[in-house]
Amino acid sequence: MIEGLYDWTKALDEKLFCGVIYFDFANLSIVSHKKLIIKLKAFEFQVKISQSISEVQRVISCVPQGGVLTPVLFNVFTAELPDMLREAGVTPKVYADDIKIYKAISVEAGSQELQREVDLTVSWPKNCQLPIKPHKTVYMQLRSCISPTRTYTADVVLLSAVKSVRDLGFYYNDKLDFTEHIKTKIRVVNLRTFQIFKWLSLANKGASLCAYKSYVRTLVESSNTVFNSKKRKHV
């Protein structure tokens, strides 16, 4: 997230237009293991309850949901895509099944500057039996000055233009303003603080302090290097 924010801020400082496309993959349960096995050679699983372990079973499809290896398996399956996009001249950012691409171009440039990369991002997963959901794929225009509105398509479907997104848990808009994210975090912090005072009001100070450090302070300090605001009202 920090790398993307740095690139976007730099582009806006240079008076460039930056288009960001946020892709939504289809259900990971349709991932073909025939293609995944080419890279992993074999995939099996066992279930362990206490000290009992089940027999080894084979699975013909689906990335296991909720497992520690799920993001790794998905990254293995899609490892070729980021390299292909970089060679095409666009910057991809991938975290598990969250993929976004962006490119800084001149304000006068047309939509075709990024449309080619969108087509590539759509066609590759389709060939790997993991299609993109065009209706849930959106794009956002980052700009520091007035520029013409651009349109992009995925599988002939016109992508929705948005003014704000939730990206990896962060809320921000096309001006790179994190006000909504900060407000959301403040609401959660206030709720947790209220709950601590309500349920631990009769407990010793040590328990209250421990609860605050565990459930409130960690939330306040988490990832603040990304959304740290210069506005006094957010301090």
| Domains defined for the chain, CATH in brackets | 2-31+73-173 (3.30.70), 179-234 (no CATH)
Residues 60-100: tens digit of each pLDDT: 555 555 566 667 777 777 778 888 888 888 899 988 777 89
Question: Closest Cα to residue 75, out of 96, 99, 101?
Answer: 96
The neighbouring-strand residues paired with 171 are 166
Q: Quick one: CA torsion of 74, 79, 84, 90, rounded to 10 degrees? A: 60
Mean pLDDT of 166-181: 88
For the entire predicted model, the pTM comes to 0.71
The neighbouring-strand residues paired with 102 are 20, 91
Hey, how many other C-beta atoms are within 10 angstroms of the C-beta on 83?
10
Q: What is the pLDDT of residue 28?
A: 59
The burial class, CB within 10 Å (0-12 / 13-18 / 19+), for 138 is middle
Mean pLDDT of 163-174: 89
Report the alpha-carbon distance of residue 196 to residue 219 in Å, rounded.
Answer: 14
Report the alpha-carbon distance of residue 179 to residue 171 in Å, rounded.
Answer: 8
Mean residue pLDDT across the chain:
79
Q: Does position 204 have pLDDT exceeding 80, yes or no?
A: no
